[in-house]
Amino acid sequence: MGVLVLAVGLLSGCTPFGESKLQMVKKAGELLVLTRNSPTTYYQGPVGPAGIEYDLARAFAKHLGVALRIEVADRSRDIVPMIANNQADFAAAGLAITPDRLKVVRFTPPYQHVYEQLVYRDGTTPPKNLDALQGQVIDVVAGSSYVERLKQLRQRYPGLTWKTVHDAEAEDLLIEVQQKQALFTVADSNIVALNRPFYPDIKVAFNLGPADNLAWAFPISNDNSLYNAAVKFLDHMRRSGKLAALIRRYYSIRESFRPMNIEAYKQKLKTTLPTYKPLFQTFGRKYHIDWRLLAAMAYQESFWDPNAVSPTGVRGMMMLTLPTASNLHIADPFTPAGSIDGGAEYLRDMINQLPSHIPEPDRTWMALAAYNVGINHLEDARILAQKLGGNPDSWKDVRKRLPLLAMHAWYPKTKYGYARGYEPVEYVRRIRIYYNVLVKLDRELRANDRNGALHLRAPAM
């Protein structure tokens, strides 16, 4: 009789005690969501978990009044089978709705539309259409929706050829195209948009077809309680405009990572910097940091705009998050003085957390990278540098390993997982350029004015 009751309960989608899936989640006080490490889904940012799927799932958990528990799949192709086997409440992993996937899981209505794009490297003759790809090999992620799309297209283009790559994600293959290790790949338009500022040589040839619909994936069940709650929640997010705001937040390219304009910077050295120079000097002395380095950082962060707002909602000249400002006991991080004070203190904290034996200027460059990506991810890169025969105390060696944190072949081997490791490398590179220009100008001014203000010694380059 007990077995019969259990069987009836499973067929109805309820527990033997008549609880629905939604009731079970609320009773447990926890929502288990399966995702993957990537900039378009979930990753550990400098101040904690981030990613559009993470933020959306966290908002849903809050709506239900429960805690969110994230589980990260080792490989993208494992996610759908894991959901089909009820290994999580649902998957929030940037999954496209495809005919093959609909056979084993059910999807919510879509919350985002993306295009599958053929990507090539600048300098390669761009193919105008699929006919031009006859005889060429396209590298694609094994088990992805891209493979399904190519199989459909091969019915019309029999010469279409591709190679499935197993231990890789779409981001990895974009890097291979950038580094001339692959001729072509396919990636979703949102993934391409996030990576292009850091891999400027990757170009889009064309879309492979109409837009794909991204949605949450649930196990197939007769119990619709949690599924229906998710559908209603996503509909509310869409109608309220919160979903569109979240998408803009993650996919709007940060102005500070657009192509550098040194002439515009030189002009602002004359027109804008004099207003804030006393503040940079004051807090440079307070935290024993070259004021010109603080000024270069602030320009990279906000172009010296005290009212700047990033796509992620961070504000102020030094783009401090509210949790960071609170930890630093900065009363008003949105005033120029408060922002520069907090930014300088945070940079000093990064410097102090690094091993004391790291020499300058490597110590400063690593601290800048930690300011951007977080001290834990920097430590992961230092460990990788050592394992790969490099010097973990050399910025030159560490900067080569930071991009590995965004590659599936490497980040699972690290303690803190995926990070957009290419971003801190570019971040430090730009600050060093701005710093060098400012140092040169400052020396010229001091040569013309021996009674100028106090200038701290610049770290050796």
Q: Is residue 267 part of a domain?
A: yes
Q: What order do you get walking across the sheet with 116-121 strand by strand?
A: 161-165, 137-141, 184-188, 116-121, 202-207
Alpha carbons 403 and 414: distance in angstroms, whole number: 13
What pLDDT score was predicted for residue 316?
86
Least Cα distance to 75 among 93, 96, 54 occurs for 93
Candidate from 80-84, 109-113, 141-145, 195-199 with smallest mean pLDDT: 195-199
Name every residue whose Cβ is closer than 8 Å to that of residue 246 and which is 6 or more positions away in sequence: 52, 55, 56, 237
- Residue 458 is assigned to a structural domain of this protein: no
What's residue 198's pLDDT? 79
Among 39-48, 108-117, 199-208, whose mean pLDDT is lowest? 39-48
Residue 459 lies in a domain: no
- How many CB atoms are located within 10 Å of the residue 373 CB? 26
At 370, list the tokens.
Answer: 């930690």
Q: Are residues 87 and 125 in the same domain?
A: no
Residue 277 and residue 407 share a domain: yes
Same domain, 322 and 411: yes
Q: Of the listed 53, 116, 171, 301, which one is catalytic?
A: 301
Shared domain for 308 and 410, answered yes or no, is yes
Question: CATH number for the domain including 120?
Answer: 3.40.190.10
**55 and 431 Cβ atoms separated by less than 8 Å:** no
Q: Which amino acid is at 20?
A: S
Q: Are 411 and 419 in contact (CB under 8 A)?
A: yes
Complete DSSP assignment for 10-65: HHHTS-TT---HHHHHHHHTEEEEEE-BBTTTBEEETTEEE-HHHHHHHHHHHHHT
Average pLDDT of 347-363?
96
In the chain, the percentage of residues whose pLDDT exceeds 70 is 91
Closest CA to 50 of 312, 248, 241, 256: 312
DSSP string, 149-162: HHHHHHTT-TT-EE
Q: Which residue has the tokens 């072509």?
A: 184
Peptide bond before 361: cis, by omega within 30 degrees of 0?
A: yes
| Residue 240 sits in the same domain as residue 267 | no
Does residue 460 belong to any structural domain of this protein? no
Residue 6 confidence (pLDDT): 39
Same domain, 430 and 358: yes
Q: Are residues 281 and 381 in the same domain?
A: yes
301 is catalytic: yes
* Pairwise pLDDT comparison (408 vs 34), residue with the higher score: 34
Write down the mean pLDDT value for the chain: 88
How is residue 78 written in tokens?
């494992």
Question: Residue 386 belongs to what H/E stretch?
Answer: helix 375-387
Q: What is the pLDDT of residue 460?
A: 41
Q: Is residue 99 situated within a structural domain?
A: yes
- What confidence category does residue 91 fall into, taking pLDDT thresholds of 50, 70 and 90? very high
pLDDT value at 427 more than 50: yes
pLDDT digits over 188-231, tens only?
998 898 888 778 889 999 999 999 999 999 999 999 999 999 99
Q: Could you tell me if residue 47 is inside a domain?
A: yes
Is residue 10 scored above 70 in pLDDT? no
Residue 372 has pLDDT above 80, yes or no: yes
Last residue of a domain, one of 210, 242, 268: 210
- Tell me the C-alpha distance between 363 and 347, whole Å: 11
Q: What is the pLDDT of residue 186?
A: 96
Mean pLDDT along residues 19-27: 95
242 and 325 fall within a common domain:
no
Is the pLDDT at 454 greater than 50, yes or no? no
**Are 340 and 369 spatial neighbours (Cβ–Cβ below 8 Å)?**
no
Query: For residue 124, how far is the Cα from the chain centroid?
Result: 28
What is the model's pLDDT at position 11? Answer: 40
* Of 210, 242, 272, the domain-final residue: 210
Query: Is there a contact between 430 and 259 (Cβ–Cβ < 8 Å)?
Result: no
Structural domains counted in the chain: 3
Q: Are residues 53 and 142 in the same domain?
A: no
How does residue 253 score in pLDDT terms, banded at 50, 70 and 90? low
User: Is the domain of 227 the same as that of 194?
Assistant: no
100 and 218 share a domain? yes
Query: Residue 331 is which amino acid?
Result: A
pLDDT top residue among 310 and 43: 43
In a domain? residue 41: yes
Q: Does residue 457 form part of some domain?
A: no
Range of the domain at 183: 116-210
CATH number of the structural domain spanning residue 310: 1.10.530.10
Residue 157 and residue 88 share a domain: no
Average pLDDT over residues 14-28: 82
- Looking at 197, 222, 251, the residue that finishes a domain is 251
Structure tokens at 131: 């006919």
